[in-house]
Structure 1
Amino acid sequence: MLIDAAVKYQTIDNFGASDAWSMDPIGKHWTEDNKTRVADLLFSREKGIGLSAWRFNVGAGSDETDRDIIRNPWRRAEAFKMSADGDYDWSKQAGQQWFLRAAKERGVNTLIAFVNSPPVWMTKNGHAQPDPSVGSTNLKPGYEPAFASFLIDVLKHFYNEGLEFQYVSPINEPTWDWNNSGQEGNRYNNDDLKRVLLEVYRQLQAAGMKTKISAADGVEITSLLDDDLFETFSGEQQYTSGANQLGTGKYREYIKCLLDDPELKEAIGHKIASHSYWSDYDKPGDDRLGTLRELLVANIARYDSDAVYWMSEYCILGADGHGRDFGMNAALRVARAIHFDLAAANAAAWQWWTAVSKEDYKDGLIYTDFNKPGDEQNILTSKILWALGNYSKFVRPGAIRIALNEADDQEACGLMGSAYIHEGDQTLTAVFVNDSQEDRSIRVSLQGMEVKDGIKVMQTYVTSDESDLSQGEDIQVQADGTLEGNIPARSVVTWYGQWRG
């Protein structure tokens, strides 16, 4: 096996998660000690997994208007402004704000404000989710300037509080119809999407703000593809899921929509974001881990060879998502998805869905049985948390993915590996996912730049049935630049070393 630091791929921007929607009740009702423990597990490199990005949900106000249609209080959100003529109330979303500050205090350097629905007073039906009557989108006609102005006000407020958002995502999963969805959401056909993004960009520029736009945050990779590439993958002429079935416009081909339009390409900063839902498995005739991501890379290159790709949201969905799984089965599935997003799709960012969950579902890094004030504030960590930490704690912003050859990553099983150098920190990181039932002994040769001569020892960190990102035995680098180590069965292992420049 060869790690070649002279062969470089994408620069890593961040690893993150979102605060929707659990962090608000937790931040409001939990003790300082318990909130601090959760924050440390998520954001601290010393006590947790050291996330480097945090997605803050800017709520639409469903907590006041939609209690009859969004019955789960942990899926509703407050809003900072509840009417066109009303004042802003910055005491809202207080629990989320606690964790936003906690993230910043622990060194998280990428803050992202994301929106599921415009504020309820800007929607056609007065709710934070559409219904079949609203047409292509629930945003009122001509309300793009008001929506953008609201977002600018939110960004300015937090900037003045010392919490600068590096990105804003005005639209989340525009593909889905969101009718009677049980949570905040909104659809936008491609024309709706363009109007919103261009208006937000115009107002950001006018305000002299450095915040960049993240888009399109499509629900799955297949929704991004050009029709001909989607047909190559699926055998169907075009993507027809979600709102595409409503007859209210086009809700697909987001790469072409955003990167083939000079104005939009500039507005989104030559970066395209998507979610990896339903893209985390292979089965005969449906190679989602490998082929789908190869088509994604080829599709982006059609329009902008310099465009950056972010994987901005993921958890295990569908029938496989039901039931909490604290063990390695779910963790290995997630680790495979991370590996292929980074090594096949060239993702520069990888962001989990909801950081803390109370549900009986595979959607949390951390779980709790807390539901309402007075309940026990228990904190249950999953192996998914620690497996993500094998990447997020060590592959830091600014690291560059480099060549790691001769792992079995084409088989989507067995041993998968990826490697990264951070020239500023002078570190080399390799992350291995052993999805097999047998230990794998490997011999690695280091090559390229000063890495070969400068690294003397690699520390090892293991997540397995027995270990939670636990430090193992150091591996000595031989004089010829080789090292040998063991990757235990059903584990995620990080090798981490520093060199002298």
Structure 2
Amino acid sequence: MFGSTVSSAKDNNLAIPHDNTAQEIHINVEKKYQEIDGFGASGAWAMDPIGAEWSEENKNKVADLLFSQDKGIGLSMWRFNIGAGSEETDKNIIKDRFRRAESFKTGKNEPYDWSKQAGQQWFLQAAKERGVEEFIAFVNSPPVWMTKNGHGQPDSSVGSTNLKEEYINDFAVFLSDVLEYFEQEQLPFDYISPINEPTWDWNRAGQEGNRYNIDDMKKVIRALYHELQNRDLETEIDIPEAVEYTSLLDDDIYSAFTGRNNSRYNSGNASGAYPGKYREYIKEFLGDNEIKDMVGNKISAHAYWSDYFSGEDRLIPLRKKVRENIDRYDPNAKMWMSEYCILGGNGPGRDLSMRTALDIARLIHYDMVETQASAWQWWLSMSPYDYKDGLIYTDYLKPGDEETIIESKLLWALGNYSRFVRPGAYRVDLNGANDKDGLMGSAYYKEEDNQLSIVLVNYSNETKPVHLNVDGLPWNKKAIQFKPYITSDNYDLEQKNLFPAHKVFNVPPRSVVTLVGK
């Protein structure tokens, strides 16, 4: 279990005096890159029925696994879905009850009902109690009473968006009312994401959703920004939650990435099918000075199809292009990876093993060092599905079913980042470990806590001996000691024996290891 300090003879081989074959890893704490906002996951869907229907004992077990820095992975960010009300209107469209959502307000002239979404609210409170630091409220669709077709997803008749033009200001008021309520309840949201994956058409989708072209989006952003300003709410707008990195790119950079002259992104279902523009999000938001200020000089996107796509290796080249594109407008602009799970042909089928855990740990590594993401957020914190979309799984589908809690290795591998790379830390320079098929390493330093955290991902089947050379710390080099935490086939973020920095550390095969120096 996490936090165990039980050692064995095998553990004594993790740190050894000398090894001439050891990789030399050099870390310079004084050379800083992006500031870290946090690591998180979403409470959407499953958390409502689980939070409303499960026993207190089992809900607390789930909350501990997700949020506790002693018993679990210590997420520092939590995503709360503000529902559109499909639970009342869309049962014939959204058959799966786990994908429908209530709304706090069911009509323009109806009162707010803050008892709605009780399950999600339980986990929101549980996250706060366990030390989660950053909270994001996100929206898949405006409330159904604001939509053109009266549903929580569009159809082909509604044009570029399902949000009625005359309800744009009402939408801003609704979101601000929700934010204000939770602030009064001592559960303030740091960020509000009013739009999700706007490039998708979402027509009669099996979940809540909505498309928006660029002009539609900017109208929502302006209305929401001014409403927040009028109320002195300090919640920052998060935008655009683009469905994939390629949709972010300027046309010329996208063309260079694809190798096709004058090509433009048009992969989203809405592109070309509906009026307006559904691409070039970096340019449209960071390149527009008015909007850039309204969204905190930050761009957010989902990393779907960003590793391999149609036989194409995108893992590193695409991330380099995203960073290049952001730097074109402002090297100081922040980038968030705000949602990911495995889609496509590899999506179906739960995988609780290190195979998926290592694939995701590698993807996180390159999001941190190439895209220079300030935040990294997984999709479903808990999933009832036979799919690679959860950190924790359950076979619970209806009241009366067993309240199963099934941990994945991915949960604990994410914990190698989330537990130790805390908000306010900076990624710092690390050289000597950047092999996507072997050993990858990134380092983070939080001056406030005087803590250095080094995350090593060993994708290979071989032990990787490393020797760490650290410069720039306010400590005597000879006094530096590291505490290892290992996730592998045999361990779930397990703490091992402290070792001095002058020793060689053997990174186990097929593992994720965090070395904490303090």
Sort the TM-score into its range (normalised by shorter chain).
over 0.9
From 136, 145, 150, the counterpart of 2:169: 145
Query: Which residue of the partner structure matches residue 266 of structure 1?
Result: 293
From 67, 73, 77, the counterpart of 1:53: 77
One-letter amino acid of the counterpart of residue 288, structure 2: D
3-state SS, counterpart of residue 449 of structure 2: coil
CA contact (8 A) 1:416 1:434 kept: yes
Shift of 1:287: 3.5
In the TM superposition, what are the counterparts of 1:374-385 in structure 2 within 5 Å? 374-385=400-411
From 277, 283, 291, the counterpart of 1:250: 277
Query: Which residue of the partner structure matches residue 446 of structure 1?
Result: 470
Query: Which residue of the partner structure matches residue 358 of structure 2?
Result: 332
Are positions 1:494 and 2:518 aligned together? no
Spell out, residue by residue over 1:114-149, the C-alpha distance to the aligned partner (whole angstroms, 9 max, x if none): 000000000000000001111000001221100000
3-state SS, counterpart of residue 347 of structure 1: coil
In the TM superposition, what are the counterparts of 1:407-446 in structure 2 within 5 Å? 407-409=433-435, 412-446=436-470
TM-score under structure 2 length normalisation: 0.93
CA contact (8 A) 2:478 2:501 kept: no
3-state SS, counterpart of residue 103 of structure 1: helix
3-state SS, counterpart of residue 157 of structure 2: helix
Query: Which residue of the partner structure matches residue 78 of structure 1?
Result: 102
3-state SS, counterpart of residue 142 of structure 1: helix
CA contact (8 A) 1:282 1:289 kept: no
Shift of 1:476: 1.1
> Which consecutive residues of structure 1, in runs of 5 or more, have no partner in the other structure?
none
Query: Which residue of the partner structure matches residue 356 of structure 1?
Result: 382
In the TM superposition, what are the counterparts of 1:91-490 in structure 2 within 5 Å? 91-236=115-260, 237-242=263-268, 243-281=270-308, 286-409=312-435, 412-451=436-475, 453=477, 455-478=479-502, 483-490=503-510
One-letter amino acid of the counterpart of residue 415, structure 1: L
In the TM superposition, what are the counterparts of 1:33-52 in structure 2 within 5 Å? 33-52=57-76
Shift of 1:456: 2.7
Shift of 1:293: 0.9
Shift of 1:451: 4.7
CA contact (8 A) 1:15 1:349 kept: yes
Distance in 2 separating the partners of 1:181 and 1:469? 38
One-letter amino acid of the counterpart of residue 253, structure 1: E
CA contact (8 A) 1:431 1:495 kept: yes
One-letter amino acid of the counterpart of residue 147, structure 1: F
One-letter amino acid of the counterpart of residue 453, structure 1: K
One-letter amino acid of the counterpart of residue 413, structure 2: A
Spell out, residue by residue over 1:219-250, the C-alpha distance to the aligned partner (whole angstroms, 9 max, x if none): 01101000111111113401111210313221
One-letter amino acid of the counterpart of residue 64, structure 1: E
3-state SS, counterpart of residue 148 of structure 1: helix
3-state SS, counterpart of residue 322 of structure 1: coil
3-state SS, counterpart of residue 121 of structure 1: helix
Are positions 1:9 and 2:33 aligned together? yes
CA contact (8 A) 2:468 2:501 kept: no
3-state SS, counterpart of residue 121 of structure 2: helix
Distance in 1 separating the partners of 2:330 and 2:480? 40
3-state SS, counterpart of residue 333 of structure 1: helix
What is the CA RMSD across the aligned residues, in angstroms?
1.2
One-letter amino acid of the counterpart of residue 230, structure 1: Y
Segments of 4+ moved more than 6 angstroms:
none
Aligned length: 491
3-state SS, counterpart of residue 273 of structure 1: strand
Larger displacement relative to structure 2 (135-144 or 244-253): 244-253
One-letter amino acid of the counterpart of residue 228, structure 1: D
Spell out, residue by residue over 1:352-395, the C-alpha distance to the aligned partner (whole angstroms, 9 max, x if none): 00100000000000000000110000100000100000000001
CA contact (8 A) 1:335 1:492 kept: yes
Shift of 1:31: 0.3
3-state SS, counterpart of residue 143 of structure 1: helix
CA contact (8 A) 2:199 2:278 kept: yes
Distance in 2 separating the partners of 1:99 and 1:415? 36
One-letter amino acid of the counterpart of residue 340, structure 2: Y
Distance in 2 separating the partners of 1:475 and 1:494? 13
TM-score under structure 1 length normalisation: 0.96
One-letter amino acid of the counterpart of residue 306, structure 2: S
Shift of 1:351: 0.4
One-letter amino acid of the counterpart of residue 277, structure 1: Y
3-state SS, counterpart of residue 322 of structure 2: helix
> Which consecutive residues of structure 2, in runs of 5 or more, have no partner in the other structure?
1-24
Distance in 1 separating the partners of 2:476 and 2:173? 52
Spell out, residue by residue over 1:419-465, the C-alpha distance to the aligned partner (whole angstroms, 9 max, x if none): 01110011111001111111111111111232553753100011111
3-state SS, counterpart of residue 305 of structure 1: coil
**Which structure's relative contact order is higher, taking Cα pairs within 8 Å and 6+ residues apart?**
2
Tell me the percent identity.
58
Flag the 1:88–1:351 CA change in 2: closer, same or farther, 3 A.
same
Spell out, residue by residue over 1:312-332, the C-alpha distance to the aligned partner (whole angstroms, 9 max, x if none): 101111110100000011001
CA contact (8 A) 2:42 2:379 kept: yes
Spell out, residue by residue over 1:298-355, the C-alpha distance to the aligned partner (whole angstroms, 9 max, x if none): 1111112211111110111111010000001100111011101001110000000010
Query: Which residue of the partner structure matches residue 19 of structure 2?
Result: none
Distance in 2 separating the partners of 1:171 and 1:290? 27
One-letter amino acid of the counterpart of residue 509, structure 2: A
Larger displacement relative to structure 2 (433-442 or 274-283): 274-283
3-state SS, counterpart of residue 385 of structure 2: coil
One-letter amino acid of the counterpart of residue 496, structure 1: V
Shift of 1:280: 2.6
Flag the 1:489–1:283 CA change in 2: closer, same or farther, 3 A.
farther
Shift of 1:267: 0.5
CA contact (8 A) 1:461 1:495 kept: yes
Distance in 1 separating the partners of 2:480 and 2:264? 53
